[in-house]
Amino acid sequence: MVLRELAKHLGARFDDLVVEAQGSPISDTEDPHRNFRRGEIAWQKAQTMHEWLAGNHYDFGQAKAPEMFQIPRRSEWEMFLQAHAATGGIRAMAVEPFAIARRDPPEDEATVFRIGQKFVFELTTPEPSYVVAFERYAAEWHPLPLAADVRNLKVQLRDGLNILPRDGKGAAIPLCEYDDTGLHQFAFVVSQDQRLPVDRKSIVAFSKDADIVVYLVQTRIIT
């Protein structure tokens, strides 16, 4: 059962994923564990859950049950990113540059860093704003703290050039990848509205009534 395996993979409660996947709470008379074991799920609900998995965790589902996940879907989050993406305004920059010569040309437009190399982001905005950032690796998105306190997912931007992440005095807090090579994608969600949420689902809903700009950048980590 893909949903059960996904719960283990994410370290999430199975019941919570069922609620999110079916788009409604579990009734007092339902036992999702028993229903899934017995296959006692209405086809409409099963289809809704399948579409949720295909739209939000396609790569995981395809790896676990390739016969069930053959056509990739785009999640609400991915459609949001595409609809609000800006051109330029962001770049990843090495803090301590050193040679990264390669024999083969890069496969994408990602900025290349070596394992252990420190880097930061330069984000340029036309007006004072607020920003929340996320990192995608191995088909999963994760919050990216931008302040000294890793619990602080939203920081204020000044107009012009901003170095991120940074501490309370504006000094850069370099990032460094020690384990995960390959492509990393970053999304910086910017709004002038201080009410900008910090989780992806709320941001998508918030964007329907607020002006939001998304700055996208990629890095590739090599050995």
- Domain 79-222 CATH class label: mainly beta
Distance CA 33, CA 45 (A): 15
Distance CA 26, CA 19 (A): 6
Q: Helix (H, G, I), strand (E, B), or coil: what is residue 120?
A: strand
Look at residues 26, 80, 76, 81 and name the one whose alpha carbon lies nearest to residue 54.
76
Q: With bands split at pLDDT 50, 70 and 90, how would you rate the model's confidence at 147?
A: very high
Whether 143 and 165 have beta carbons less than 8 Å apart is answered as no
Q: Which tens digit of pLDDT belongs to each residue from 162-220?
A: 999 999 899 999 999 999 999 999 999 999 999 999 999 999 999 999 999 999 999 99
On the question of pLDDT at 56 being above 90, the answer is no
Strand positions, DSSP E, 13-146 = 90-94, 111-114, 118-125, 129-137, 140-144
Residue 9: its pLDDT value, please? 87
How far, rounded to the nearest angstrom, does the alpha carbon of residue 140 sit from its chain's CA centroid?
Answer: 6
Domain assignments of the chain as residue spans, ordered by start: 2-73, 79-222
Q: Which tens digit of pLDDT belongs to each residue from 62-106?
A: 999 999 988 878 888 999 999 999 999 999 999 975 544 444 444
CA distances from 106 to 75, 92, 118, 128 (A): 27, 16, 20, 35
Counted residue by residue, the chain has a size of 223
Q: Which tens digit of pLDDT belongs to each residue from 152-163?
A: 899 999 999 999
On the question of pLDDT at 13 being above 90, the answer is no
Phi, psi of 205 (to 5 degrees): -65, -40
Question: How wide is the angle at C-alpha 207 spanned by C-alphas 79 and 10, nearest 5°?
Answer: 60
